[in-house]
Chain A
Amino acid sequence: MLERRLYRHIDWLLLLAVLVLCVIGVVMIYSTTYDPTTGLAGSQVSTQLWALGLGLIGFIVMLSVDYRWFSDSTVLICLALLAALGYALMFGTTGGGARRWIGLGLFNLQPSEFARIVVALALATLFADRRRGPQTPTGWLMTALIVGTPFLLIAQQPDLGTAVTLLPVCFGILVFAGLRLRYVAVLLLLAVLTAPVAWTYGLQDYQKQRISSFLDPEQDAHGAGYQQIQARITVGSGGPLGKGFLGGTQSQYNFLPVAHNDFIFSVLAEEQGFLGVVVALGLYLFVILRGLDAARLAKDRLGTFLVVGLMSGFGFQVIYNIAMSAGLAPVKGLTLPLMSYGGSSVIATLAAFGLVLNVRMRRFTN
């Protein structure tokens, strides 16, 4: 399937940056799960390495098959996603108060991590052929259906954080598909107006707690505000040059909960300092901008929309997670793509980059 000509057009630079970030992630997971008393790192490291292996396979699959083939199978793929989400919701494995995993024996699969790719693919397919853009009743309806259904299923788990990452995917594609700026304004206004309603009826108590404690972490220094305070301390104490590998007191002594997961970037900031932060931020920025390049270079609207959707979702999650890891945004159960511990996240993200490279690679093919 992979012709020699295509092989030449693989964006090796982007792939390299993505892999470097994955390696940094593994090193940081090693550090946070390292137990100084036994001198061993946690099992998470090997799990993550396995996940990376699977992710690379996923990457190659997504890269090899022409993205237009995926587009043709959109309906099927959407149904598969909804089935998986529904299954997870009803029979899934419970963890941390949410039902989001499907037990697969060896590991648990989190279908919501793949929802972003499917939504991006579905919306890109939808608007690729609709020259009139989204401002038609059918356009709105389809968009609402494609985004809303998985959104509600994921929010029911409950995992509002992951559900919300679907919105930038949708928003990015809509704007590129010709959403007029006044609609953007209306959407923003709507969001502001519905915020109090959502606050009252839509949010669980713990979610309200997280937001209010973000605004004033000290009010609940041992509860929801704790993570945020500790995140700031972790980052701030890292200083310009960091405390060194395995030298982070905040992460090594567990002052920062789930450090290997949602707060991996805090650990990087603590141990590698501002210097390490700048390097990692630079890599992420490069990955996002370079990824968006594929949108510009794409041969067709489908490719452009697909890349925009995927990169919007990726960019949003990266920026939000990094802001959160420094205590600059409310704590939300969002992983840092590529670096955080989490098999499904790694596989889904690498698969998404497979698609991005796919679009870029096939820019000259018919």
Chain B
Amino acid sequence: MRRELETNGEERRDSMMLPLVLLRSSVVLAFAALGVGFWLLQVVQHDKYHQLAENNHRRTIGLRAPRGNVFDRDGRVLVENRNSLNISLVREQVDDLESTLALLSEVSGVPSAALWSVVERNRRDPAYQPILLIRDATIGQVSAVAAHALELPGLFVQELPARHYKTAEVAAHLFGYVGEVSQSQMATAEFEGVRSGTVVGKSGIESTYNQLLMGQDGARQVVVDAIGREIDTVGEIAPAEGRQLQLTLDYDLQEAAEAAFRLAGFDGAAVVLDPRSGEILSLVSLPAYDPNAFAMGIDSDTWSGLNDDTRRPLNNRALQGRYSPGSTFKIAMAVAALEEGVVDADDRVTCNGGATFYGRFYKCWGTHGSVDMREALEQSCNTYFYTLGQKMEVDQIHQWATALGLGVLSGIDLPHEVQGLVPSTAWKREARGEPWYPGETISVAIGQGTVDVTPLSLAVMMATVANGGTRVTPHLLKAVNDGDGWVPAQPPGPRSQVHLSPETISAVTEGLWRVVNGRGTGGRGRIEGRDVIGKTGTAQVISLKGRAAAGETDPEFFDHGWFVFAAPAGAPEIAGVVFGEHNEHGSLSAPIAKHVMETYFAKKEGRPLPVLPLPATPTPEAVPPVAVTAVAGN
């Protein structure tokens, strides 16, 4: 029995040998395949999957660096940072973006289309990167989002440093504004390595000194779990605040200039500088804008409002406006004529209300009789300067005007400076393809014709004449503080230097002194005991004929009035230009210069600053950083 069973067993085992071998070999094969599979994943492709795993649970969260504060020459903070509350979205944590945005739109009052467009713009960013949906949210919006936190996963309130211009519109063009770096900026060498979304300077000193002000954005590396909760902080690079800048700007003078403009009731521009160094003390362009509107990204309505405004508030007239210099150009003419030796300061010309040159009669605005150079400057006698124009080549005028700073860039540390034009024969050949006609020189001699200048370049001319021929470079940067104390900035050297003979200086200075202190047109700029020198000028907006046709009623066609000035004569400490837009005459610009100079001297001597009889002005601090207006939505 036992034997039979054994045989049976053997027989059975033989018949099952094949399936068993097959089964075993397939198991071994399957395990070998698994082994190879794991080897491929874990050894061959390890680096790739290691990286993917790191990306899974590590997040780098950008920490925005506050930009450096900006101070005036007395150490007053003018531009600083404030905390802005923003509503941000992390798409990774949102299941249903559509309903999230719909609800957010409902509770915040922000149109859903606007929210979607922000999301669309950032569609390509990683899903864990917060998208700023509502910048500078109101308290109402923040609390509405907080109240709906459970229904709005993935939305959170993000605190970010935002630029705050304490003085609002005052000196707006000088400071400029900030914004997110643009695609075209990122393509330039200056912004190499700057991440998209970084806030950079877009204009003014924010732009010029962006590298100093910007600081270094930090980052926090965190470990997150599968639903995006931060579990641990692995490392943090604290954001490094930008460097602090001290400007040459004197806020008192800036305020004085802008207040005087307000009192005068017209727009325009003013540049006030120290003729010895080129330090800008005040730089005005009106109308202005509030750079705070740009701090967290400007909304499109405000932006198009600024852009479409016919008064062009974004335009910095001081260095971007090109205007005919009018009679202020006579200063350059006087210097050129004396230095070229075509006249002597004592040579006389008789003005009979005009004179004929090259067969055409050129009018003077009055009948001045016999005048020498000093008297001609004092009374702004056209006939005298026509005569100089007749005696000189246009290229001589061009050469001297250029040496004084006209028709060239001043080199100021502000972006987008525009170059004026002082014509020359070479210029006309190139630009117009025509030879220079001597008759044109007659118009140029009184600052008309093709001559045009920026207010800034006229200020440089005045400084150059006042300081005896050194064409200083106007500049704004006084010192830099990178955290270890203030280091004075290396002032830019003069752009050029010409030797003006003492005779020239004394004759021109005397003429300009008389403009203000004698019978001239600048009497409103006179300050007792300060020996102010100056010159008015009128920039014709359209020809007299055109003006007559327009009916002379539209202020758009009113002339602009110039007043260039320096004080005190002989040893000037302050010089500059006031440009009154459509204010008809330079004599109306002079009081603004006077108020600035009075403020300067009062401050220098420790006296109370002069106060203008102005209606109460809105102080900058009255503008709240976060507008607590209607609680939207609810």
- Is residue A304 within 8 Å, beta carbon to beta carbon, of the partner chain? yes
Enumerate chain B residues within 8 angstroms of A278, measured Cβ to Cβ.
35, 38
Enumerate chain A residues within 8 angstroms of B48, measured Cβ to Cβ.
236
Q: Chain A residue with minimal CB distance to B55?
A: A233
Q: How many residues of A contact B (CB 8 A)?
A: 48
> Quick one: which of B31, B46, B50 contacts A284, CB cutoff 8 A?
B31
| Shortest beta-carbon distance from A353 to chain B in Å | 16
Cα–Cα, bound, A185→B43 (Å):
38
Enumerate chain B residues within 8 angstroms of A254, measured Cβ to Cβ.
225-227
Contact B12 A234 (CB under 8 A): no
Contact B20 A323 (CB under 8 A): no
- Is residue A328 within 8 Å, beta carbon to beta carbon, of the partner chain? yes
* A36 and B23 in contact, given A322-B34, A326-B38, A328-B37 (Cβ under 8 angstroms): no
Interface-central residue, B19, B37, B45, by most chain A CB under 10 Å: B19
Q: Chain B residue with minimal CB distance to A288?
A: B27
Enumerate chain A residues within 8 angstroms of B42, measured Cβ to Cβ.
235-236, 238-240, 269, 273-274, 277
Contact A236 B46 (CB under 8 A): yes
Interface-central residue, B45, B49, B53, B226, by most chain A CB under 10 Å: B53
- Is residue B223 within 8 Å, beta carbon to beta carbon, of the partner chain? yes
- Is residue A112 within 8 Å, beta carbon to beta carbon, of the partner chain? no
* A253 and B38 in contact, given A237-B49, A288-B27, A296-B16 (Cβ under 8 angstroms): no
> Quick one: which of B12, B34, B50 contacts A281, CB cutoff 8 A?
B34
* Chain A contact residues, majority secondary structure: helix
Cα–Cα, bound, A290→B600 (Å):
102
Cα–Cα, bound, A288→B34 (Å):
15
- Is residue A343 within 8 Å, beta carbon to beta carbon, of the partner chain? no
* A274 and B57 in contact, given A176-B16, A292-B20, A292-B23 (Cβ under 8 angstroms): no
- Is residue A313 within 8 Å, beta carbon to beta carbon, of the partner chain? no
* A233 and B52 in contact, given A238-B42, A253-B223, A253-B225 (Cβ under 8 angstroms): yes
Enumerate chain B residues within 8 angstroms of A285, measured Cβ to Cβ.
27-28, 31
* Interface of chain A residues 61 through 112 with chain B (CB within 8 A): none
> Quick one: which of A36, A175, A230, A235 contacts B41, CB cutoff 8 A?
A235
- Is residue B231 within 8 Å, beta carbon to beta carbon, of the partner chain? yes
- Is residue A245 within 8 Å, beta carbon to beta carbon, of the partner chain? no
Cα–Cα, bound, A36→B232 (Å):
10
Q: Chain B residue with minimal CB distance to A315?
A: B27
- Is residue A312 within 8 Å, beta carbon to beta carbon, of the partner chain? yes
A241-275 to B contact mask, C-beta < 8 Å, 1/0? 00000000110011101000000000001000110
B512-545 to A contact mask, C-beta < 8 Å, 1/0? 0000000000000000000000000000000000
Cα–Cα, bound, A250→B53 (Å):
7
Enumerate chain B residues within 8 angstroms of A274, measured Cβ to Cβ.
38-39, 42-43
Enumerate chain B residues within 8 angstroms of A319, measured Cβ to Cβ.
27, 30-31, 34
- Is residue B435 within 8 Å, beta carbon to beta carbon, of the partner chain? no
B19-33 to A contact mask, C-beta < 8 Å, 1/0? 110111001101100
- Is residue A232 within 8 Å, beta carbon to beta carbon, of the partner chain? yes
A309-338 to B contact mask, C-beta < 8 Å, 1/0? 000100100010011001110000000000
Closest 9 CB pairs of A and B: A236-B49, A237-B53, A253-B225, A274-B42, A254-B226, A236-B41, A239-B46, A237-B49, A233-B52
Interface residues of A (CB under 8 A from B): 36-37, 172, 175-176, 178, 230, 232-240, 249-250, 253-255, 257, 269, 273-274, 277-278, 281, 284-285, 288-289, 292, 295-296, 299-301, 304, 308, 312, 315, 319, 322-323, 326-328
Interface residues of B (CB under 8 A from A): 9, 12-13, 15-16, 19-20, 22-24, 27-28, 30-31, 34-35, 37-39, 41-43, 45-46, 48-50, 52-54, 56-57, 223-227, 231
Q: List 9 interface pairs A-B (beta carbons < 8 Å), by A numbering.
A: A236-B45, A238-B42, A254-B226, A257-B226, A274-B38, A274-B43, A288-B27, A292-B24, A322-B34
